[in-house]
A and B are shown apart, each in its own frame.
Chain A
Amino acid sequence: MNGRSVAILLCLSMAAALMGCGKNTPKAADDTIVLRVANCEEYIDEGDWDAEETIVLADGTEILGENSLVEDFETWYEETYGQKVRVEYSTYGTNEELYNQMSLGDEFDLVCPSEYMIMKLMQEDRLLPLSKDFYDEGIEENYYARYASKYIRGVFDDLQMNQHKMSDYAGCYMWGTLGIVYNPEAIRAEEVSHYDILMNPKYRKQVTMKDSIRDSYFAGLAIRNADKFLSPEFLARDDYREQLSKQMNDTSEATVDEVEEILSNMRENVYSLETDSGKADMVTGKVLANLQWSGDAVYTMDQAEEDGVTLCYSVPTECTNLWFDGWVMMKDSIGENTAKQHAAEAFMNFLSRPDNAIRNMYYIGYTSPIAGDADNDLVYQYLDYNYGAEDADTAVEYDLGYFFGEDVPHTILADPEQMNRQLFTQYPTADVLARSVVMRCFEGDANERIAQMWTNIRCFDLTKMF
């Protein structure tokens, strides 16, 4: 055997060994459960709070994120179930990245995609249903079943894909609306109550939106249907919600063509299709209005406040996209491993414990679906702690019964300015949700059609040169 063939053999065997490592399930010698979790970047409390950040609620409960929630989970699981668990936590940038990673062979047990990606995974039959006990409110550790808002639970029950209920597969992690963050010094509230502010030549190159196909399509579709949606006849329809949902999930060829026309014009008008500069540009005043998800909007408003700039949030009157991210278990990775499934569900429950939900909300600014109940109203207290008015004379009532339950009154006395600021952004009013729509995944050739539409909008048009 000469030197060259030795070298080639060596290479191949090493390559094989390397690939082998990747596929091997990291099984420790002892019986530690290894749970592979993938979540969005910066989407969980990573701990390390300063002592002065401690949240002291009305009933004296103190909440402080000392360790990361992942570490706390490992400790809690061992204390509660007497079983060691090790979480291998990784992050991804977008839902599409996660999907591509998993298609390439990365294995995760528990992932946290957005609603449309959950639907896509359900459609492809890649998710493991939640166990029968998951919704048993009699079990103390079933924090999700016990404390998640009935409103969100209802939304998950209503959403279906291939005759399966979303709630059979997914537990909600964060939720919110799509709206417009704006600078009230430059723009009147009426102007941002419609999506067409993004096309308004008056604010040419001073309004912006994210570089996102789905958000843009939603906004374009809402502009196309604006007159219809706001007409009294449409609003008075008995099947208003179904009709709205149907119209906003319309991906027929004719509609996509019309939306393409709208979005092409919009692209000319907007500041840019920003990737991550939007928040900073709002603070400096380069951008006056920005189409954002409520979670990002809260973060933008908080950041702006630190720099002494007041921003507001508006949900256009046409409709809004009710979005959520949820935890789902991957069928291929967990399989028949019931111990692992138990750990995965416990992870969801642990994050749903009200004090942990508060830690997450404080840390990332998004809204958790956890509402609590009569015995545990920490989340409601936290809301009051954040937004309760200091001056009772000017305070206005803000009813959140739909979310926290109607059994006892859940009406926050808040500062009037919070009506279009963080409180409203985190917890929209019931009438905003009355015009909310869940945007489903684009199925079949609709995905290709809309991807092509977006490419058409973004590509340089040779015909315009001549």
Chain B
Amino acid sequence: MAFTRKQLGIPYALFLLLFVVLPLLVVFYYAFTNGSGQFTTENFVQFFTNQKAIGTLVYSAVIALITTALCLLIAYPCAYFLAKGRIPHGAAWLLILVLPMWINFTLRLTAMKEILSFLEGNLAFHPFLNTIIGMTYDFLPFMILPLYNTMEKMDHQLIDAARDLGASDAVVIWRVMIPLSMPGIVSGVTMVFLPAMTNYVVLDMMYNSTYIMGSLIGSYFSAYNWHDGSMISTVLLLLIGLMSWISKKAGADSEEGGAIL
């Protein structure tokens, strides 16, 4: 007996309902109610008037921004040479870059800590720097892979054509390569920026005791305050949704641009 497409979709629909839709509804319920179960928007107002919460949001965003920028800076040339550089054993090099992803990241960070302690001594003196290093190390493969995939498919002849028409290196990069690889940049940035805002395990391990969004949410739940905790999650969800929307727009625009070229 053959399954119809709808029947095959049932497991996914079920998963979606149980583990995505239902939990989200619970989060929304708590976000917009108070202790006695009445509807309120006070939690929402409180978040945006709480200077500490905003401070945490800024701090998380700064960490995520720097991490993403560093990842992009390192990953972009890396991915380009792997995809187009015609270097011998390119696949093996790519494997080496991706290999760390196969190892649990806390284990990798523990190893990283030993190296950093050797270099800078007491790690506790530079919590911010170490957080950035740890995050960049952790998320780099997530930036390289999408970039590599896009660049692999990129038509190299377009770059040659630009050169033939007299474009300088800078112009080639800025006007041709970057627009062509925009989908990879967008998905790489999304995959790094958003987790970097909440991955507090890296901060814990790097002796940075300042809260970021993830730990702030956790702190509300351990103080039995589910309402404010859920509200922060909701705000974060909205921010992430907004960013995805913007990046999707950006991605679509660049694809159009690519088509015109």
**A15 and B216: CB pair below 8 A?**
no
Write out the residue numbers on chain B whose beta carbons fall within 8 Å of the beta carbon of A456.
52
Contact flag A277-B205 (CB < 8 Å), given A205-B122, A206-B122: yes
**A272 and B207: CB pair below 8 A?**
yes
Min CB distance, A120 to chain B, in Å?
9
Min CB distance, A264 to chain B, in Å?
12
Return the chain A residue nearest B121 by Cβ: A286
Residues of chain A in range 1-49 having any CB-CB distance to chain B below 8 Å: 3-4, 7-8, 10-11, 14-15, 18
Residues of chain B in range 26-65 having any CB-CB distance to chain A below 8 Å: 51-56, 58-59
A454 to B222, CA, bound (A): 12
A97 to B218, CA, bound (A): 11
Q: How many residues of B contact A (CB 8 A)?
A: 40
Cβ of B211 under 8 Å from chain A: yes
Write out the residue numbers on chain A whose beta carbons fall within 8 Å of the beta carbon of B10.
7, 10-11
**B207 and A11: CB pair below 8 A?**
no
A206 to B207, CA, bound (A): 12
**B58 and A272: CB pair below 8 A?**
no
Cβ of B9 under 8 Å from chain A: yes
Cβ of B81 under 8 Å from chain A: no
Write out the residue numbers on chain A whose beta carbons fall within 8 Å of the beta carbon of B223.
96, 213, 447-448, 451, 454
**B58 and A460: CB pair below 8 A?**
yes
Min CB distance, A6 to chain B, in Å?
8
Min CB distance, B125 to chain A, in Å?
6
Return the chain B residue nearest A451 by Cβ: B223
Residues of chain B in range 213-228 having any CB-CB distance to chain A below 8 Å: 215-216, 219-225
Write out the residue numbers on chain B whose beta carbons fall within 8 Å of the beta carbon of A462.
51, 54-55, 58
A96 to B54, CA, bound (A): 25
Min CB distance, A216 to chain B, in Å?
11
Cβ of B238 under 8 Å from chain A: no
Residues of chain A in range 252-291 having any CB-CB distance to chain B below 8 Å: 267, 270-275, 277, 286
Write out the residue numbers on chain B whose beta carbons fall within 8 Å of the beta carbon of A455.
52, 211, 216, 219
Q: B221: which of A100, A213, A273 is its contact (CB, 8 Å)?
A: A100
Q: A460: which of B9, B17, B55, B125 is its contact (CB, 8 Å)?
A: B55
Cβ of A461 under 8 Å from chain B: yes
Write out the residue numbers on chain B whose beta carbons fall within 8 Å of the beta carbon of A463.
51
Cβ of A94 under 8 Å from chain B: yes
Cβ of A51 under 8 Å from chain B: no
Cβ of A99 under 8 Å from chain B: yes
Cβ of B104 under 8 Å from chain A: no
Min CB distance, A239 to chain B, in Å?
33
**A274 and B56: CB pair below 8 A?**
no
Contact flag A11-B17 (CB < 8 Å), given A94-B222, A271-B124, A272-B124: yes
Write out the residue numbers on chain A whose beta carbons fall within 8 Å of the beta carbon of B224.
96, 99-100, 447
Cβ of B157 under 8 Å from chain A: no
Cβ of A211 under 8 Å from chain B: yes
Min CB distance, A183 to chain B, in Å?
15
B-contact 0/1 string along A226-263, CB 8 Å cutoff: 00000000000000000000000000000000000000
A322 to B140, CA, bound (A): 47
Write out the residue numbers on chain B whose beta carbons fall within 8 Å of the beta carbon of A3.
4, 6-7
**A459 and B124: CB pair below 8 A?**
no
**B211 and A460: CB pair below 8 A?**
yes
Return the chain A residue nearest B201 by Cβ: A275
Cβ of B168 under 8 Å from chain A: no
**B6 and A458: CB pair below 8 A?**
no
B residues near A (Cβ < 8 Å) are: 4, 6-7, 9-10, 13-14, 17-18, 22, 51-56, 58-59, 117, 122-125, 127, 204-205, 207-211, 215-216, 219-225
13 CB-based A-B contacts, threshold 8 Å: A4-B6, A7-B10, A8-B13, A94-B222, A205-B124, A271-B124, A272-B127, A277-B207, A448-B225, A451-B223, A460-B58, A460-B210, A463-B51
